[in-house]
A and B are shown apart, each in its own frame.
Chain A
């Protein structure tokens, strides 16, 4: 029953979020600020993780390909496919659900318990629209770029790992990443990342906005928000894969 109530409250929240902003200039400023807070400040962690994951995938694939019949260019191919299909979109989004999700919940939760949200409401400002819509726009617009960055750096990481360890030849790897290049897979990954970006902005916002109590409850809401955002990403990933690839 509680879950159904929460889903209902989440939908009602979205209804209030998607209203025309009261002042476009202020809204635009808020979107750019959120792009900086939620997107640009995540570039470092995304780049770091993608590069090393790409390296690890390439090394693991190389170590498991000890049959001489299997061509070595499969290492580049497998790394490319893994990075494009899952790691850049799903894995990176799970990381961002932790980093950005907890930030959103704790910042909104703190605003709630310190009456800053009440202050906005008393002024006649639609606080959900003012606080949450810029987050949604920022993440949905910016996260696909993070995913493209993750794909590129992941594939680059695989190449660097090969060169550094000598497990495979450079030209094999490059041949591997060139063969059977399918742009629709990148499109699939970008669509997924936009949907996940929406979840990363809205689910933690829901937990933060409706928090009741004090700092302890804000902390607890942050944990719940991260868990539920990851759960939602994993479930949505399954259905999107079914819908877009099958």
Chain B
């Protein structure tokens, strides 16, 4: 479980996060949504420790990051898997080497054990027979799957995904969404996804947090989002005519 209290972050005098509280539970997929510039990426990077918060508290499994020493922080980072928006695969490494990289860095497994684990996770993300290809030889969807495989190869407790559907066609987006949700449930991972994809919101949002101007404007589930009368959420989620109609049908039912 991840708990956040009153988290604030600013850059050059501009406050981007203005005090956000949230709880992300184990085995559940939580989504962060909001307009561009609402602070979603800064929020995610602050949770990951890529930005230090100016104020507030972040705790992982009941231990606050502020109270952790260097070793504890290093250990925590090994419990975190991250899927970046652009996949962030290492260009000079093959698919197999990319996925094996965290194992080589942080475990004492033999080459055979590592290969078995790599093949297992690649199989889990439905990406077999591509081990020796380089990232540039893969499609966007395949790269995302390799990124997911790399993120889960060390059995992390926490999984963060920054816009995992960006640049993907709707069918591949659904495959990626389902994959993340299945892995979250199977491995009891705390998953936090930063997304713009409304399909993800409707399909896999067990918990949704809507950010606006650096503040948490709304919180609920994918079912709640159909019923909400919060103007900012309605304007954001139902900005397209299609989703307006979907909502109408859902509410009528």
Contact = CB atoms under 8 A, between A and B. Distances in A.
A119 interface: yes
Interface string B34-52: 0000000000010011100
Given A118-B50, A119-B82, A125 B105 contact: yes
A115 B74 contact: no
B77 A114 contact: no
A22 interface: yes
B84 A115 contact: yes
B186 interface: no
Contacts, number: 49
Contact of A121 (B50, B78, B90): B50
A5 interface: no
14 contacts: A23-B105, A110-B91, A114-B86, A114-B91, A115-B85, A115-B86, A115-B88, A116-B88, A116-B91, A118-B84, A119-B82, A123-B80, A123-B102, A124-B106
B124 interface: no
Given A116-B88, A122-B48, 5 more contacts: A114-B91, A118-B45, A118-B84, A123-B102, A123-B105
Interface string A86-127: 000000000000000000000000110011101101111100
B248 interface: no
Interface string B13-52: 0000000000000000000000000000000010011100
B104 interface: yes
Nearest to B80: A122
A116 B104 contact: no
B104 A119 contact: no
Interface residues of B, number: 24
A26 B106 CA distance: 11
Contact of B88 (A23, A119, A124): A119
A123 B91 CA distance: 17
Interface of B: 45, 48-50, 73-74, 76-78, 80, 82, 84-86, 88-91, 101-102, 104-106, 160
B63 to A, nearest CB: 16
Nearest to A114: B86
Contacts of A114: 86, 88, 91
Contacts of B88: 114-116, 118-119
Interface string A11-53: 0000000000011001000000000000000000000000000
Interface of A: 22-23, 26, 110-111, 114-116, 118-119, 121-125
A178 to B, nearest CB: 47
B212 to A, nearest CB: 25
Given A26-B104, A116-B91, A118-B50, A124 B86 contact: no
A52 to B, nearest CB: 33
For the complex of A and B, the 3 pairs showing the least CB-CB separation, nearest first, are A124-B77, A115-B88, A119-B88
A130 B76 CA distance: 19
A123 B45 CA distance: 13
Nearest to A117: B88
A23 B84 contact: no
Contacts of A111: 91
A118 B49 CA distance: 10
B105 A22 contact: yes
In this complex, the member of B49, B82, B85 whose beta carbon has the largest number of chain A beta carbons within 10 angstroms is: B82
Contacts of B76: 124
Contacts of B48: 122
A24 to B, nearest CB: 12
A23 B50 contact: no
Contacts of B86: 114-115
Contacts of B82: 119, 122
A121 B73 CA distance: 12
A74 to B, nearest CB: 50
Contacts of A110: 91
Nearest to A37: B92
Contact of B50 (A22, A116, A122): A122
Given A26-B105, A118-B50, A123 B78 contact: yes
Contacts of B50: 118, 121-122
